[in-house]
Structures are given as structure tokens and as C-alpha cells.
């Protein structure tokens, strides 16, 4: 299923957190959202996974407005890995992953053998099968993150929405989780801070600044030193990855050698009102 956001706007207290945004993720593509802190990535993703109703515009998953779907129907299509996930009770990792199966069953229906299999497979896919009986609250940050990725996979979604999925992960698991997202062939919209990981993982990148799309295209088209300076206020040098050829960014200090600030735009349009 594809994702289409049209004219998406989120206004809170007179401030446009997301401003007339248009974004498309074709079926099976992995699309990245990048941009500085506070530019509206999570707010956009929350609209896509139906946690936030936009002030204007629409998000369509497989052609249907997500707010025209029931919460259950939406959860059958979209699995989300939010940036913050609070868990009050000490469920085991296996129980946390099993929660993903509830959109696929009736209120009092018990888990079937097939449900169990989906969960075991998801735990294995992200390398946490050995943690299945551990209490979730006893896990490290990276272990928790991998359990939550397993939960998203066990939901068997048509669309994955991942908000900083590499948070807390060591470099091996950062690479493995993103490779897995590509491998399973699911439509994916992913917010990432690491521009090199984004370049290596995503077919297309959307760059947000102040709630607006300021650039879109392949990583090679989008990740130019000019754009990095204008959007992040950082000097960047582009080099091809020696093996894959993917564009890689090396950064220097945020100021020019003469001590002046680099050319750049404001990161957040705090003054924009509806």
C-alpha cells in the first residue's frame, strides 16, 4: 500500500508545526524524513499513523483517508514505532510483541498458534528471541528498541512508520534494523537524524524545515553541502562511499574558519501563524 499526504497542516496555538506538506511513499518504497530538531518530523509521522488528526489536509493509506478508517482497520495497515514509548507494567518482551496481534482478532479471541509464530519470527528477525521471557523494563535501551521493532513487524503491517528507529542502537543493530526494513519490502516512512544512514537506506528523502518540505528527491539529489548548510547550519563535505558509492557526508564545525556563522536559514519558523 502507498502513503499519500496532501496539504497536511497541523496548527497548535496559532503555530504551524506542519505546513501544507505533500509527501508520497510508493508501495514498497522506503522514504526518509530528515531535518533539524523541531522541524515537524514526528508531528508528520503521528498524522500518518493516526495518532494526531491534522488541522487541514489528509493522509491516505492505500487510497483511504486514515481518519475514515476505524482504529483497528488503521492498525491492520500501519504499524508505528514512536519516538517515545512508555510501558508502565513489566510485561515480558514476548508479551509486548504479542500485543501487535490484537488488531487482527476479536476482543476476547485468544492468540492462535499462527499468532505465536508471527511473534517468534519477529523476535528472531531483530535478534531478541533470547530476551523473550525477560521483563521489558529490565531491558537496556537498545534491547527495548529492538523489541519494539519486533512488535511493529509482528503486526504484519502493509506500512511501517518509524520515528528514529536507530535510537539507542549500536552501529551493528542500526545497520541491521534498517537493512531489515528494506529486505521485508514493506512500504516504510522513516524519520532519521543520521543523514548517512538515511542516504544508505532510503529511496527518496524529504527534507523538512519549519514544518515545510524544503527539498525532496533521491539522497544523491538532496544531500548537497548547500542544503546541509541552509537547513542545519553545518558545513558538510560530500564523498562517495568507497564500496557502495552512496553519498556520504563528513562534517566540519558549524562556523566558518573566519569565525562567522555559515550561511543558513532559521531552523524553525516560530513566527509562522495560521
Ligand X SMILES: Nc1ncnc2c1ncn2[C@@H]1O[C@H](COP(=O)(O)OP(=O)(O)OP(=O)(O)O)[C@@H](O)[C@H]1O
Residues that bind ligand X (CB under 6 A): 12, 17, 35, 37-43, 268
SS3 helix, strand, coil % of the chain, rounded to 5? Answer: 35, 25, 40
Looking at the Cβ atoms of 13 and 107, the one nearer to ligand X is 13
Looking at the Cβ atoms of 19 and 176, the one nearer to ligand X is 19
Q: Do 189 and 198 form a contact (C-beta atoms < 8 A)? A: no
Shortest spacing between CB 163 and ligand X, in angstroms = 7
Q: What is the CA radius of gyration of the chain?
A: 19
Helices 141-154 and 171-183, interaxial angle, to 10°? 10
For β-strands 236-240 and 247-251, DSSP reports them as: antiparallel
Looking at the Cβ atoms of 22 and 105, the one nearer to ligand X is 22
Shortest spacing between CB 160 and ligand X, in angstroms = 17
Q: Is 267 left (phi over 0), alpha (psi -120 to 50) or beta?
A: alpha
Report the alpha-carbon distance of residue 230 to residue 178 in Å, rounded.
27
Looking at the Cβ atoms of 104 and 144, the one nearer to ligand X is 144
Looking at the Cβ atoms of 17 and 48, the one nearer to ligand X is 17
Q: Where are the beta strands (DSSP E) in the chain?
A: 3-12, 15-25, 30-34, 56-61, 64-65, 78-81, 159-163, 187-191, 204-209, 212-217, 236-240, 247-251
Shortest spacing between CB 176 and ligand X, in angstroms = 23
Shortest spacing between CB 38 and ligand X, in angstroms = 4
Give the torsion sign (CA, 70, 72, 77, 83). positive
Shortest spacing between CB 151 and ligand X, in angstroms = 21
Shortest spacing between CB 40 and ligand X, in angstroms = 4
Give the torsion sign (CA, 252, 253, 258, 261). positive
56 strand-pairing partners: 9
Looking at the Cβ atoms of 41 and 50, the one nearer to ligand X is 41
Q: Is 124 left (phi over 0), alpha (psi -120 to 50) or beta?
A: alpha
Looking at the Cβ atoms of 93 and 223, the one nearer to ligand X is 223
Shortest spacing between CB 89 and ligand X, in angstroms = 26
Amino acid at each position: 500500500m502507498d502513503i499519500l499526504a496532501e496539504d497536511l497542516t497541523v496548527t497548535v496555538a496559532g503555530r504551524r508545526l506542519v505546513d501544507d506538506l505533500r509527501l508520497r511513499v510508493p508501495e514498497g518504497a522506503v522514504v526518509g524524513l530528515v531535518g533539524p530538531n523541531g522541524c515537524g518530523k514526528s508531528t508528520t509521522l503521528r498524522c500518518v499513523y493516526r495518532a494526531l488528526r491534522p488541522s487541514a489536509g489528509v493522509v491516505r493509506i492505500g487510497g483511504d483517508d486514515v481518519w475514515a478508517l476505524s482504529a483497528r482497520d488503521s492498525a491492520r495497515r500501519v504499524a508505528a514505532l514512536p519516538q517515545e514509548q512508555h510501558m508502565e507494567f513489566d510485561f515480558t518482551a514476548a508479551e509486548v510483541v504479542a500485543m501487535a496481534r490484537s488488531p487482527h482478532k476479536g476482543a476476547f479471541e485468544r492468540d492462535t498458534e499462527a499468532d505465536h509464530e508471527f511473534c517468534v519470527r519477529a523476535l528472531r528477525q531483530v535478534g531478541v528471541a533470547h530476551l523473550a521471557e525477560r521483563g521489558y523494563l529490565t531491558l537496556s535501551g537498545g534491547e527495548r528498541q529492538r523489541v519494539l521493532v519486533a512488535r511493529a513487524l509482528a503486526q504484519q503491517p502493509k506500512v511501517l512508520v518509524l520515528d528514529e528507529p536507530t535510537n539507542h542502537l549500536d552501529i551493528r543493530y542500526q545497520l541491521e534494523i534498517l537493512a531489515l526494513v528494506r529486505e521485508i519490502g514493506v512500504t516504510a516512512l522513516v524519520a532519521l537524524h543520521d543523514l548517512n544512514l538515511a542516504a544508505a537506506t532510503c529511496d527518496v528523502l524529504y527534507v523538512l524545515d519549519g514544518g515545510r518540505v524544503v527539498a525532496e528527491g533521491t539522497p544523491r539529489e538532496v544531500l548537497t553541502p548547500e542544503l546541509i548548510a541552509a537547513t542545519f547550519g553545518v558545513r558538510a563535505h560530500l564523498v562517495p562511499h568507497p564500496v557502495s558509492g552512496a553519498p556520504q557526508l563528513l562534517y566540519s564545525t558549524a562556523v566558518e574558519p573566519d569565525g562567522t556563522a555559515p550561511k543558513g536559514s532559521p531552523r524553525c519558523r516560530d513566527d509562522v501563524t495560521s
